[in-house]
Amino acid sequence: MILALSFLSVLSSSAQDQKAVSNLTVDGNTSVRFLFRRLNANYVLPALIFRVADFRDPNWNTAPIDRHGRSPYISLSEMRSLVRRLEDNHLRWQVSSPARPIEPFEEIAPDRNLFITIYASNEMAAASISPNEFCELLSRVNKIIELKRAHWELEYFRRGCGCQVRGYKSDAYPNDR
């Protein structure tokens, strides 16, 4: 009986969290961070942080890197599609308010899972994906990113996670830190 109640509680909590992700305000201030810190790696893969820019913005089609990660810029419509695609994957989201600032990726302890965080204007949602699931999820996300530089950055990140990426051209953009 206690086990059944615990299971129902988890399902209820998960459903509430999932519903809350669709209530996040996705606007020009929204960011989505993908973070994978491989255990025992000989290099540190920067977090991938999608941010919103307009085609007139100087950040358009760029991917600057700083202590928080590499930040490819995408359109607002791509950001909305990205959040919708992540929501459709039935991940267990933990929603919190207010949103915390993005922390430097090198200060986060390595883990075997991929962490995704959606930073909205006043809330944030976070999910953890196991290694046997994240390559498939990243592949589905890859299909919706249209801006060439952002698409390449996602493919670079996928390869850093150990995923197969067909047709990836490693020399398409500079990859220096």
1-44 pLDDT, tens per residue?
A: 443 333 333 433 444 444 567 788 999 999 999 999 877 767 78
124-137 pLDDT, tens per residue?
A: 999 999 989 999 99
The whole-angstrom separation of Cα 159 and Cα 105 is 18
In this prediction, residue 10 carries a pLDDT of 40
Percentage of residues in the chain with pLDDT exceeding 90?
Answer: 58
At what angle are helices 131-142 and 148-160 packed, to 10 degrees?
170
In the predicted model, what is the mean pLDDT of the chain?
Answer: 84
In this prediction, residue 15 carries a pLDDT of 41
- Residues in Cβ contact with 162 at an 8 Å cutoff, skipping those fewer than 6 apart: 38, 131, 135
The whole-angstrom separation of Cα 4 and Cα 156 is 43
10 Å Cβ neighbour count for 155? Answer: 22
Q: Read off the tokens for 154.
A: 């996602």
In this prediction, residue 130 carries a pLDDT of 92
* Exposure string over 75-97, b if 16+ CB within 10 A, otherwise e: beebbbbbbeebbeeebebbbee
CB 41 within 8 A of CB 110: yes
In this prediction, residue 6 carries a pLDDT of 37
CB 141 within 8 A of CB 129: no
Nearest to 84 by CA among 132, 36, 144, 157: 144
In this prediction, residue 11 carries a pLDDT of 39
Q: Read off the tokens for 3.
A: 């086990």
Which of residues 109 and 126 earns the better pLDDT score?
Answer: 126
Nearest 10 degrees: Cα torsion 53, 170, 144, 14: -90
Q: Read off the tokens for 28.
A: 């020009």
Provide the β-strand partners of residue 5.
Answer: none
